[in-house]
Structure 1
C-alpha cells in the first residue's frame, strides 16, 4: 500500500501550526518526519507521509503531558 502524501499546507493544517513553525520543526527537530520532493527542481512540492506525521504527533503529545 502506498503512503498517503500530505502537502506542506495540509501538514500545517493537520498540526495547527504556521508555515514558519513547520519550517523551524524541519530544521531543528531531528525526530520530525522528513519531507520528500515530487521532483528535482527547487519549485517541486514537498510532501510528508501522513502515518509518520501522526506517529510523531502522538509521541510529542505524550511528552508534553
Structure 2
C-alpha cells in the first residue's frame, strides 16, 4: 500500500517537479496559479510546505496547456 502525502517540504516539491530551488522560488513568485506555500511558523527559518494534491493538479494543468488542450 502506497501512502500519498498530504503535504511535502520545499525540497521534495523541487524533486517532484524536477526543478531547482531557485526555479521553484521563481514559479511561486510569478505564477498566480501555483499553489501557495504553507509556512509552519513565524520565523524566517520556519519550514515551508506545499499541499501535495494541489501540486499534482497544477502540474497536470500545466501539462495539458502545453499539449494544447
Please confirm whether the aligned pair reaches a TM-score higher than 0.5, indicating the same fold: yes
Question: Which residue of 44, 58, 61 maps to 1:42?
Answer: 44
TM-score by length of 2: 0.88
Count of aligned positions: 63
TM-score (norm 1): 0.93
Instruction: Please point out which of 15, 20, 23 is paired with 1:21.
Output: 23
Gaps in structure 2 of 5+ consecutive residues? none
Q: Return 5+ residue gaps in structure 1 as ranges.
A: none
Any runs of at least 4 consecutive aligned residues in structure 1 with deviations exceeding 6 A, and if so which?
none
